[in-house]
Amino acid sequence: MDILRITFPKIILICNWQIFMIAKWKRKSRKLPNIRFRKVM
């Protein structure tokens, strides 16, 4: 259970960072079609 307590916040941080990066990238390249963005997801 201690391992879960340590790793779980890290997973949340990584997920939040990825969402932030995707949002940042999406803002930069609004010219690209949404279809390509969905494939990346």
Instruction: Look at residue 41 and give its three-state secondary structure.
Output: coil
36 versus 8: the higher-pLDDT residue is: 8
Residue 29 sits at φ, ψ, to 5 deg, of -115, 65
Per-residue pLDDT tens over the stretch 3-28: 878 888 898 999 899 999 888 887 77
